[in-house]
Amino acid sequence: MPCMKTIIKEYIMKNIVLLALLLFSYFTIGSYLSSINLASDKTLSGSVLVAMSIIAVIACFGNFAFTYEKINIKIPFHRYLAHFTTGLLTLVIGVSLIFTSILLSFIIGRFILLDVLFILLYAACVGYDLWDIMRIEPA
């Protein structure tokens, strides 16, 4: 089905852009949090961590509540709006995981297993997005 090939290509491009943005964000966020001496104030780091967790939960709820099944994949605007929506939510999830990783390294030190878990969580969100696209019924 030509429309499925198109939406898969768009999905791949969306995730390449997201990874580039997240890579840039990782270094930017790390520099910013280090420059404001958040590493020395564990109480403040914990408070920011709670705020980031709330943002991540909201983004996850939106990401998992959205479904590509409800869009008309033959209409480009519908596809682009769906990609934009899921892309923004996935970006927020990724940025929240970056904040969480950096803040936890300030609080408890670098623990590679947590970073692996964050990467797996992000990969699961991306995989869920692909699975949702694959559920689209051919027209």
With contact defined as beta carbons under 8 Å apart, do 115 and 71 qualify? Answer: no
Q: What is the DSSP string of 87-125?
A: HHHHHHHHHHHHHHHHHHHHHH---HHHHHHHHHHHHHH
Confidence at residue 2, expressed as pLDDT on a 0 to 100 scale: 59
Q: Give the model's pLDDT for residue 10.
A: 95
* Domain ranges for the chain: 2-134
- The SS3 assignment for 74 reads coil
H-type alpha helices, 36-75: 42-65
pLDDT given at position 23: 96
For residues 55, 56, 58, 59, the Cα torsion angle rounded to the nearest 10 degrees is: 120
The residue type found at 62 is G
Structure-token match 């869009």, residue found: 71
- Express each pLDDT in 21-38 by its tens digit: 999 999 999 888 888 877
Question: What are the Cα distances from residue 40, in Å, to 58, 106, 136?
Answer: 28, 8, 49
Q: Tens of pLDDT along 60-111?
A: 999 989 999 888 888 999 999 999 999 999 999 999 999 999 988 888 888 8
Listed residue (29, 8, 4, 6) closest to 91, CA to CA: 29
Instruction: Read off the pTM.
Output: 0.90
